[in-house]
Amino acid sequence: MSGGRAGPGGSIGAGGAAYDVVDLIRAKRDGAALPGDAVAWLIDSYTHGRVADEQMAAYLMAVVWRGMTDEELDRWTAAMIASGDRLDLTGLTRPTVDKHSTGGVGDKVSLILTPLVAACGAAVPQLSGRGLGHTGGTLDKMEAIPGWRADLDAARIRAVLADVGGVICAAGPGLVPADRRLYALRDVTGTVESIPLIASSIMSKKIAEGTSALVLDVKVGTGAFMTSLDDAHELARTMVRLGTRAGVRTEALLTAMDAPLGRTAGNGPEVAEAVATLRGDGPADLVEITVALARAMLDLVGLGAAAPDPAQVLASGAAYPVWRAMVTAQGGDPDAALPAPAFTRVVPAPASGYLTRLDARAVGVAAWRLGAGRARKEDPVSPSAGLRWFAAVGEEVRAGAPLFELHSDDEVTFPRALAALDGAVTISTTPPAAAPLVLAHVR
């Protein structure tokens, strides 16, 4: 994983308003740090089609190998933000705070967290994305609700925040268009795995959305993008520094993602589990992570002592009316039945004992193969596909009793999903040692 520091090649001198892109590629290849006007020129030229995809791909690969200095990354992120609009949330009566997750399996936290923090007194502009590969997307999950729509203009976002206190929606096309082009290019050129590029992609959008504070949920483990704790720490520190320097109060929690969160993976299945959690009946791991993030968000905007305890609010079901109002405000019907799968298949436990491992990535891949995820951004997803599991790590299972239930719109998906789950669980005669879910707090 490439770090955030440039190599020993020095910096290239600041020049006029225009640059030769090949010179910039060579400079970064040799470890130089670009000055601010060169960074701004490169981002602006690529966004407007004056730099070709293959040239930017070469530059991005040089960044993967050479990294960026802190100052260079600040300029790169600022140039991305400057490529489009910024959402103005000033004038709201509540303090604004958002949360971003780096992506996991069964991670329906945003669906619960947004109305929960709103019920505790803050305004939450949760601008979210779609899933790709084995990790699910918040917008895909919400779109399983009949009538619900993700696309809201700035005026509507402000109105829902003022009225309800929380909104989950897509970032508009005018918000950081440079990232939209860069993200698509990185995805097909093997240049995703760079901490400066990951951090600037996430933070440019979060800074542009206008929130005053941000809590980052950096997932670590087999089901996360960051499998190394050291890499996760570096990413968290980089993003916190970018947010803080941009005037957004920012903190990060590193949370475990070796096992999936909750008991479901998929779109509609995760919505159903989120609703149950908002009504006070959620699984312990999902509740623990959600409450930890809620407390961090409320503390960050100065409401910690004055706000009600998020754990009590969640357990009492007091956040559920906010969920209903939020769904209704975006055209959804909170009372409508979620789409049901055409086919289900139960997978029995192979042995009796304690579940000591449930591999998050394997579960995510199985959900993806059942139709809940996409290989390309333009691929459709099924609102009903996915799976549930009947035991969490540390719980007892009995041989022959249901362990998984697979949901799909097409029976032909079952063999490949079952192949993904082959070897995903370990059952032992003794229970595993308790492992923490929140691994670190980065400020």
Is 179 an annotated catalytic residue?
A: yes
Is residue 52 within 8 Å of 25, Cβ to Cβ?
A: no
Per-residue burial over 66-100, b = 16 or more CB atoms within 10 Å of its CB, e = otherwise:
bbbbbebbbbbbbbbbbbbeebebeebebbbbbbb
β-partners of residue 96 are: 123
What distance in Å separates the CA atoms of residue 271 and residue 324, rounded to the nearest whole number? Answer: 12
What distance in Å separates the CA atoms of residue 206 and residue 86, rounded to the nearest whole number? Answer: 10
Q: What angle do CA 310, 315, 321 make, to 5 degrees?
A: 80
Task: Choose the catalytic residue: 94, 100, 108, 219.
Answer: 100
Task: Choose the catalytic residue: 179, 217, 258, 359.
Answer: 179
Strand ranges in 284-378 using DSSP code E only, listed in sequence order: 343-348, 353-358
Is 205 an annotated catalytic residue?
A: yes
Terminal CA-CA length for the chain: 22
Is residue 112 within 8 Å of 277, Cβ to Cβ?
A: yes
Task: Choose the catalytic residue: 186, 219, 233, 407.
Answer: 186
What distance in Å separates the CA atoms of residue 139 and residue 225, rounded to the nearest whole number? Answer: 19
- C-alpha closest to that of 295 among 438, 170, 128, 436: 438
Is 379 an annotated catalytic residue?
A: no
Is residue 56 within 8 Å of 24, Cβ to Cβ?
A: no
Helix, strand, coil % in the chain, rounded to nearest 5:
40, 20, 40
Is 410 an annotated catalytic residue?
A: no
Strands 353-358 and 425-428, sheet pairing: antiparallel
Is residue 131 within 8 Å of 373, Cβ to Cβ?
A: yes
Is 295 an annotated catalytic residue?
A: no
What distance in Å separates the CA atoms of residue 62 and residue 282, rounded to the nearest whole number? Answer: 45
Phi, psi of 330 (to 5 degrees): -110, 25
Task: Choose the catalytic residue: 200, 201, 212, 382.
Answer: 201
Cα 116 off chain centre by: 18
Q: Which residues are catalytic?
A: 100, 179, 186, 201, 205
